[in-house]
Structure 1
């Protein structure tokens, strides 16, 4: 039987498990085939496609695979925020959703994160692009999420095993309003004290670097030159993008699609 919570599971972690000759690890896609009971969760989840979030072991040495359903917005909050969205299955209740790679290159996992405040005019560019990408068919290893001003959530999400993170944001660089750029920031700089309800990308990256035990994913920023800039001290909110920034949303969607394609093909992607 699949379960949403299991207090005795998260005691030790393994990295992989082999099912039908295929090695599954964090990020692998699987189909759910619950067999141990026929409760309401099993009936609802049977046949669904999910992504492995972790492979864990309980006190008795039994292996359990934690998964998050594909398309579930709860995955946007990372493991720390997936209560009620993570399900545990025995390995025999899963089947790989894709054939073995036959020794080919590992599948690149990409996070596309829209960031910004929708109540501060052009600062809402990132969320607007994330919403537009919701109507685009992207490969299963590419995850799109609107993080808004949830800097802490994004910091933890950057630790979830992605190879590349594309941050979509308003980025003033002195260019014509609506101009798009691809920037590769220095992730070795910045302090680790982001505000709980603010989104300073430099501080978010610094916090993620501080929290994690390994390297961060490669970070690329798809930035748009704003026309209307606000600092948050204004007496009124401004909802909606300026005309040139709004017009750049569709172009940004195409740019993200192009970058994703290049990254998945293993091509060199340089700032531009």
Structure 2
């Protein structure tokens, strides 16, 4: 049986977001698909939920963790459902916040020299917060299989 959420894996894939707020459920939905697959032992897949990247920092150890892949929605002025790989340097300070409005760009900047950080962002169409709307829009839903494929490529698995 494979480990799903062990500490300090070589590769950590973290889906961020909240399924109660429409497209914000993208990250957790991608993680659910990944958990259905047989992944290498050196990969940990985690639903980081609302605490998002702030929580992820507790799963990392520069001694053993080499890559962090964050899966989340974003607004990079693309078409709804469009996927884009972003680097930490492409996140302007203050642009990436978790549910508690903590600016996460700075802590990501701090660890980026020790751990390779890749952010797979999906252009949101609609985020309902603070109202609850369960269900991802069709455009973002359609990008989930492509996101899974992109992550498998990134971790060295060809599907």
TM-score, scaled to structure 2: 0.80
C-alpha contact 2:16 2:47 (8 A) present in aligned 1: yes
Q: Give 5+ residue unaligned stretches, structure 1.
A: 1-48, 50-69, 80-107, 263-272
Residue 223 of structure 1 is matched in structure 2 by: 121
In structure 1, what is the Cα distance between the partners aligned to 2:71 and 2:138?
Answer: 18
- Give the structure 2 partner of residue 245 of structure 1: 140
Mapping of 1:154-233 within 5 angstroms? 154-159=56-61, 161-186=64-89, 190=93, 198=100, 203=104, 206=107, 209=110, 215-230=113-128, 232=129
TM-score normalised over the length of structure 1: 0.49
Structure 1 or 2, whichever has the larger Rg, is 1
> Deviation per CA, 1:81-101, whole angstroms, max 9, x where unpaired?
xxxxxxxxxxxxxxxxxxxxx
Please state how far the C-alpha of 1:205 moved relative to its aligned partner.
5.5
Secondary structure of 2:13's aligned partner = strand
User: Where in structure 1 do 4 or more consecutive aligned residues deviate above 6 Å?
Assistant: none
Unaligned stretches of 5+ residues in structure 2: none
Aligned counterparts, 1:20-99, within 5 A: 70-71=2-3, 73=5, 75=6, 78=7
CA contact (8 A) 2:4 2:46 kept: no
Q: What is the CA–CA distance in structure 1 between the aligned matches of 2:109 and 2:69, rounded to whole Å? A: 15
1:71 Cα offset (Å): 2.1
Q: For this pair of structures, how many residues does the alignment match?
A: 153
Higher normalized contact order (CA 8 Å, seq sep 6+, divided by chain length):
2
RMSD (CA atoms):
3.1
When residues 126 and 188 of structure 1 are mapped into structure 2, their CA distance, relative to the original with a 3 A threshold, is: closer
More helix by share: 2
